[in-house]
Structure 1
């Protein structure tokens, strides 16, 4: 593929590497197939790397989160960003912590589903009044102390299934207890995966924006998280172009 690139395409490739510090063979194919759109992609995705305020390693940890989120699960993108994070000095412990933080996203099933369940029960005159036991009140207080927030659906969850709530609480708070990632970075990860186009969980974004501000985040840092997350759409190219190239080869085109 390298021999097929024109001087103009090689110049654009070298410019991308200079700004972003890495390359992937898929972009050779994109350059060959549509040089003009590669320039569009390059200009868009490079903005946080040219003018950004977050350190490069943190950018890549956020990119890992976006790529590996349960609502996305892009193997090619996750591999690229793990490689980049390691190159930029991330430890295996930090990367594992990112994956642990992201894996809690499955609990949004309850965050969305439990309030809807309560609403339907109330519509049918079935009582959903919450009365917590002393043990449940203690679990609630421990959660709030650790996480700094609460939502009413957790009262219902706690009353209905104390053991499940406790397991969930331990799952959610595990990364906070290790200290491997600083709290502000964890909140950036939550903001990124909640704001991704594959999720767009507004309540979660609001909660984690408040927490990020509490930990000292600036509006410039948060905007950069959004900028990184907005590049998720380009994963369609990362996934689709190799398939296209493979099929073209089968047809000798």
Structure 2
């Protein structure tokens, strides 16, 4: 398929589909080196923008979650999507709440690591002898389980051994992860954060599904929670489409470097 090589025409195509705020010099390099990739990339990004199962504002919040996740930290994308989110009417409170939600990704070290630790303990014959592992919860642990369920709106079996082995760290994470669920942002005293629960759960889906993370247990859990809060499969699908756009950062980073080297040569 033939593609225009005119830089002005290519930029006009980009802006008409994606908006001026999404343009930067990296796209100019991609258009110069591979107009075919440029056109296909623009079309890929444009699909959820055309369908709008989620509002433009929520779409930008999902992109912030993907780019700001600790497994990716793509600063140019974070800047662009924050700018776009503000343009679409997002408030600073909404954006910082996405950042708070996305900052919980690191707990997957425990979600993955604790079951493996328990497996090793059983293989080494020390699990049954441990004073708290696999034992009924004491009053402190039962309260922490109840608090987590109340604050986060769910409980899952993978928290059981974590809580059994280290209630102090579990409590610290409970407080950390509950911030966006308990903040009183409007002075009402309700303390439920600013984003509706469905959107919070979609944020978790966004960074769990991203290619830099692919945390399957969490993704499945949060998909179920989205549906519980009234979300639709189409909305979840659109989050997956937005997360897929992470792959374009390969060319966003590499094409300008190639263009720079070619210019020097």
TM-score of the aligned structures, taking structure 2 as reference length: 0.88
Question: Following TM superposition, by how much is the alpha carbon of 1:68 offset from its aligned partner in structure 2, in angstroms?
Answer: 0.8
Note if 1:235 corresponds to 2:240.
no
Q: How many residues align structurally?
A: 246
Could you tell me which residue of structure 2 aligns to residue 166 of structure 1? 171
Structure 2: tracts of 5 or more residues without a match: 184-192
Note if 1:219 corresponds to 2:219.
no
For 1:103 and 1:94, the matched residues in 2 are separated by 14
Could you tell me which residue of structure 1 aligns to residue 29 of structure 2? 29
Question: Following TM superposition, by how much is the alpha carbon of 1:35 offset from its aligned partner in structure 2, in angstroms?
Answer: 0.9
Moved over 4 A (4+): 6-9
Could you tell me which residue of structure 2 aligns to residue 130 of structure 1? 135
Structure 1: tracts of 5 or more residues without a match: 1-5
Could you tell me which residue of structure 1 aligns to residue 10 of structure 2? 12
For 1:140 and 1:242, the matched residues in 2 are separated by 50
Contact 1:136 1:158 in 2 (8 A): yes
For 1:7 and 1:111, the matched residues in 2 are separated by 49
Could you tell me which residue of structure 2 aligns to residue 201 of structure 1? 215
Could you tell me which residue of structure 1 aligns to residue 261 of structure 2? 247
Could you tell me which residue of structure 2 aligns to residue 65 of structure 1? 65
TM-score of the aligned structures, taking structure 1 as reference length: 0.92
Instruction: Describe the superposition over 1:119-150 as per-residue Cα deviations: whole angstroms up to 9, x where unpaired.
Output: 11111221232332112101101111222322
Could you tell me which residue of structure 1 aligns to residue 154 of structure 2? 149
Could you tell me which residue of structure 2 aligns to residue 120 of structure 1? 120
Higher normalized helix content (fraction of residues): 1
For 2:209 and 2:24, the matched residues in 1 are separated by 26
Could you tell me which residue of structure 2 aligns to residue 3 of structure 1? none
For 1:174 and 1:63, the matched residues in 2 are separated by 21
Contact 2:33 2:255 in 1 (8 A): no
